[in-house]
Structure 1
Amino acid sequence: MGGDYQMADLSGNQVYPREFSVNKTFQNFLPNADLNYKFTQTKNLRFNYRTSTNAPSITQLQNVYDITNPLFISSGNPELKQEYSNNLSLRYNSTNVAKSVNFFGGLFATFTQNNITNSTFIANRDTTLAEGVLLTRGSQYSRPVNLQGYRSMRAFMNLGLPIQSIKSNLNLNGGVNYTRTPGLINQVSNISNNYAFNAGTVLSSNISENLDFSVSYNGSYNIVRYSIQPQQNSNYFSHTARFRLNWISRKGFTVNPDVTNTLYKGLGAGYDRSFTLVNLGVGQKILKDQRGEIRLTIFDLLKQNNSISRNITASYVEDNRTLVLSRYFMLTFTYNLRNFRGSNASKN
């Protein structure tokens, strides 16, 4: 148990489009506590409490209008305060050494005071902001503000055990996340509640140095609810399934397929899709003791690679699709420097 005193100075100067100076000093006391209890040598429970701060950025403090996009105008707020978070965690770990079984479970929570979020004004008619900035009907003006009520909670567990019959290890995991984010729309409180349910498994082998594989799956179901924007509510599902194999023959021929299937469902038109990314590498070990390797790798063999993400904010849901590099080939040569002068191994 203890604590720290923190003082942070934030300063900046702006000369265009008008002169503006920022000088802020933040002072906080940051307590912390740890409690560790051992039931046995292989079972223990640990409680942790930490506090942390997050200062607003210079951009968030500058009271200047960004009119790059006239439909989404934004500005800073020189009156912003520093965020102050209370972080709690409870972890339990149990290991059965004889059976090589391990269990981990955890509860995590964060409560934030003066959460930096956005106050959004949606114009129902043409409106003139300060300094003559025009906000046309239907467009938005966003400004950062401090609000109370942000919290995030998470529960997570993982079970690991061996599968002796196939010389592999199996890991099972699952979790539940909840995030509450406050916001303002036309000066009315708008609360975003995001629930996420996750489950996954990983099967990885330890058969030999020449044969290794892993199979994994992770699925996530999300529920998003807004207090005053029911049209933004959504339920969506995503999953990732992956298979990897590394095989080396006695004569040094190598094969390394890597296949990943990604699915998005419930995001909406243009974003609901399933695609499979296939990477394939083939190579040949060469030179003395097979220290060298020539390898040809094909990335995105099926030309299906995509990058899709969803961002949940206090006032809206945003879907993004990013342009990614499609199929390409790479030829590489690798040489393994196993021995160094002065080592106990034989010198070559």
Structure 2
Amino acid sequence: MVQQVAVIGAGSFGTALANVLAEKGYRVDLFARRQDQADEINEHHTNKQYLPDVALHEGIHASVDIGQVVEGKKRVVIVTPSSAFRETLKAMRPHLEQDALLAHATKGFDIDTGQRMTQLMEEVLADFDPGQFAVISGPSHAEEVSLRIPTTVVAASRSQRTAEAFQDLLMAPYLRAYTSPDVIGTEIGGSLKNIIALGAGISDGLGFGDNTKAALMTRGLSEIVRIGVSLGASQMTFSGLTGLGDLIATCTSLHSRNYRAGYALGEGKSLSEVLAQMGMVVEGVRATKAAYKIARDQSIEMPITFALYGVLFEGKSPKTAVEELMGRRRIHEMEEVAEAVSLRWES
């Protein structure tokens, strides 16, 4: 059994995961960016900014020294915003054990290159075997994990050994982990559901109903599948926890900062106002920009994503975006499926 684990990132989910591992008996070293946050975790066993009213296990030790956190660890879990991911990997690299297994739970893209997080890992940690890398994803609000509410996630890796290592690491009475070999699909589902959650929030903020949100989520899932398959993912992955499951949780819960940000946009607030009000990273904003570029460059049809891009970055009003979506040309519900299996009308 691995006795020591490093968790990189003391935000809400990183802290929740650290708490799960500490409750299982691991010594958890948690990297925090601010000294005052590290001091609070160590002295008071709380992280009130990200997980208010949650008592943290005393087995968590926080530090602002990333080298000290990762040194000697055979299991490392990275839970930082996508904007800090490359920088974090570079800071960790000199201190990592060569045989360490690394997983990330970051849902997003590198905005400059459009790369997924495991692609960044393969680039920055080029001297590691890609089979040492995994991604953890699924419908797992940190607030619920920290309250020991039953939750399921997926650990995906090119290597079955690595996926199962993180499955074993995470399994707890209230946290069940599955494995998958589809790294691409797991990352795409976890990242792009944040775009659709923004749209779901906008829909509710505009005062629309369940019909609208159900349509948005369903057609949004079609877009996620379309771009995911084009990038090499398995279509079946998007029917599982890291596709449909994560989409449902993120589009329907007030725990979701992407949903809350969308709701505020629907009420008429500007993007700058919303981001200032949130005080935390809204990954769907960056994901929209990245997915828009990929879809445009590869001629992938993603009308909901394009509409949200217009709202976020081009000053389009949410109501106008909805009107444009509703007025699009007539198509099959599942155009690609109809073409792939040669469906024909009977008359």
TM over 0.5: no
TM-score by length of structure 1 reads 0.22
Query: Which of structures 1 and 2 has the larger relative contact order (alpha carbons within 8 angstroms, sep 6+)?
Result: 2
TM-score by length of structure 2 reads 0.22
More helix, by proportion = 2
* Larger Cα-atom Rg: 1
